[in-house]
Amino acid sequence: MTLSLGHRHHDGIVRREFLQVGFSGLLGIGLPGLMAARAAADGQQRGEKLVPRAKSMVLVFLTGGLSHIDSFDPKPNAPQGIRGDFSPIDSSVPGITFAEVLPEMARRAEMLAVVRSFSHKYTNHLNATHEVLTGQPQPGAFFDKIAARTDFPCYASTLGHLRPRADGVPSGVMLPTFLMEGPLVWPGQHAGFLGPRFDPWQVRQDPNSPTFRVEDLRLPDGFSVERLGSRKGLLEDLGLQRDRLSAASEADALSGPRDLAYSLLLSGKVARAFELDREDPKVRDKYGRHTFGQSLLLARRLVEAGVPIVQANMGRVQTWDTHNGNFKRLKNDLLPPTERGVAALLDDLNVRGLLDETLVIVTGEFGRTPRIGSTTGNANGPDGRDHWSACFSAAFAGAGVRGGQVIGQSDRIGAYPASRPYRPADLAATVYRAFGIDPAIELRDKLDRPIRLSDGEVIGPLYSGGSV
């Protein structure tokens, strides 16, 4: 028996722009949800320590890879060819220092737990992105292996599969960019082997644009909610007749997006979240009137609308890929808008009483080489840093995370973990546990093979304190 949801596909006509990957508007709990609940209950009976429950997560993804040495893990005592141009600054927590280009993060260090010993083996953007965004190695990984339906599902897709919703709110939204360059589609953005009906909804517009508006969330002229609901009912009946004629329901890859189209239009909750012009201008200014800041503001509004997982991509595919001009780009272009937006997000969530139930994670797919100008296979300028996955940092806040601490240590030049290394699998286990999902449960792929959700372990010090 496959661990998949019974689903009736519907046929319908909506605007072409709305026919993008999306979540299914399924009703009821479903078999996967029941099994997930049972696995969580079994975990409690075994005495496993569960992390505090999160209702939502904002994943701030620094696509391309932030230099850990030039941000959360400065090395002032390393040689000049390693320590770089930035001096360390004291944070609000005694003994914790960040690079001088992170003053806002330093002032909010009591909210943050920084893990300095993340590590994995992939130095290619696509393979590394898949691993960080799913917690699993990309199946059959090779250099620049693009997204495929054999990939593992991202966190939002797994959540949507195990806990289908009936309120018209998607389980995940990714914004404001779709990670793709030419023919290369970054893996880790989709539902993988779970199928297109569980793909997160992609927003591909700049929230800072004065013309920003998601047309797909507005009813066409002349349509009322009641009329749209009646049309949907008719199309459901037609879809049922069609499904009786075809056992290959997965062939209609657009059925999930169509369901999402109707559910979003009928609920209106998510549609209102996109109306940024309703936000207090002072709040918008606090986040920063730029793509990064307004994307994070939109993430907060989506969390308020009930979307459990929002991924905000800070840039396009390789924005943080600083092979040249690493220090100039970080200081002038990348870190100021990012940390301003993240700082505003943390403050805003805190003031609104949402930080205790919202997990915030800031990470890239890897770090950058300790030695400036050195190479791991790419051409680099004398002031650039290449890809480095053997050691990098990530910052956590909210949802029970104990702030004001550093977890794990890198060696004296930031090349390798000097304490326990944490893997993307551990990140995944932590995320799933935060949502009350046992990482040990099994999914079934299209060949009915059992696949463990994650073989990682929860990063315990995030909640208990310490530097293990």
Pairwise pLDDT comparison (445 vs 103), residue with the higher score: 103
Model confidence at 446, pLDDT cuts 50, 70, 90, reads: confident
Measured from the Cβ of residue 183, the count of other Cβ atoms closer than 10 Å reads 7
Q: What is the pLDDT of residue 260?
A: 55
Would you state the pLDDT for residue 194?
95
DSSP 334: I
**What confidence score (pLDDT) does residue 27 get?**
32
Return phi, psi of residue 55, to 5°: -95, -20
48 to each of 118, 155, 441, how far by Cα in Å?
A: 24, 22, 14
Q: What is the pLDDT of residues 387-432, one digit of tens each?
A: 999 999 999 999 999 999 999 999 999 999 999 999 999 999 999 9
Q: Where are the beta strands (DSSP E) in 166-287?
A: 172-175, 180-181, 184-185, 201-202
Mean pLDDT value across residues 196-213: 92
Enter the pTM of the model: 0.83
Q: Give the pLDDT confidence score for residue 268 in this predicted structure.
A: 75
Tens-digit pLDDT profile for residues 327-337 = 999 999 999 99
Burial of 178 (0-12, 13-18, 19+ CB in 10 A): middle
Note the pLDDT of residue 256: 54
Burial class (CB in 10 A: 0-12, 13-18, 19+), 15: exposed
CA dihedral 146, 157, 436, 441 (to 10 degrees): -70
Model pLDDT for residues 46-89, shown as the tens digit of each residue: 334 557 789 999 999 999 999 999 999 999 999 999 999 999 99
> Is the pLDDT confidence value at 464 over 80?
yes
Please give the pLDDT value at position 248: 38
End-to-end CA distance of the chain: 41
The secondary structure of the chain in percent helix, strand, coil, rounded to multiples of 5, reads 35, 15, 50
